[in-house]
């Protein structure tokens, strides 16, 4: 069973400015997210590139290193999707996150995250707790994104 967690946030900035940080600077998430100590891409930004993130363990999440592979990078539509390939606890199957930036008016944007999480069958009873934790994590990430974009 795939669990979908959709989160949106309005940001006081043009969509191009938001996309620059979310999309064009995808490998540099450690510059604005407190949950990521270091981050790097293994090649040019495009479909198939891998981002490695060293996590701080703040916000209740585990520390450690995760790798994420971009499976869809679309500059024209200011959207991208990545799958977490390694570094998650064994209770997780496939985990992906899709970002979409849209303009909502002069100097206004909406950022949408659609996180899809597959739990192993034996972890299904933990679905409510996992949903709550991932929801808080994404909400916090979007707040930090808004703070970073609006400060620039």
Quote the number of domains for the chain: 1
pLDDT at residue number 63: 79
Which pairing describes strands 2-11 and 108-119: parallel, antiparallel, or unpaired?
antiparallel
Q: pLDDT digit string (tens) for 74-111?
A: 999 999 999 999 999 999 999 999 999 999 999 999 99
Domain carrying residue 120: 2-151
pLDDT at residue number 1: 72
The list of the chain residues with pLDDT below 50 reads: none
CATH of the domain at 70: 3.30.530.20
pTM of the predicted protein model? 0.93
pLDDT at residue number 60: 56
Q: How far is CA 68 from CA 27, 42, 114, in A?
A: 10, 11, 15
What is the gyration radius of the CA atoms in the chain, in angstroms? 15
Backbone angles phi, psi at 127, to 5 degrees: -55, -50
Tokens of 148: 């970073």
């Amino acid at each position: 069973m795939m669990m979908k967690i959709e989160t949106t946030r309005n940001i006081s900035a043009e969509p191009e400015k938001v996309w620059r940080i979310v999309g064009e600077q995808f490998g540099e998430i450690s510059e604005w997210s407190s949950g990521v100590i270091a981050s790097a891409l293994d090649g040019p930004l495009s479909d198939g590139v891998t981002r490695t993130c060293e996590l701080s363990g703040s916000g209740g999440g585990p520390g450690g290193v995760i790798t994420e592979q971009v499976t869809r990078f679309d500059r024209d539509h200011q959207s991208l999707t990545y799958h977490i390939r390694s570094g998650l606890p064994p209770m997780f199957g496939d985990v992906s996150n899709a970002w979409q930036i849209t303009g909502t008016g002069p100097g206004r944007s909406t950022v949408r995250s659609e996180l899809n999480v597959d739990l192993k069958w034996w972890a299904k009873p933990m679905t409510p707790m996992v949903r709550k934790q991932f929801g808080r994590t994404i909400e916090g990430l979007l707040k930090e994104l808004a703070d970073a974009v609006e400060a620039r």
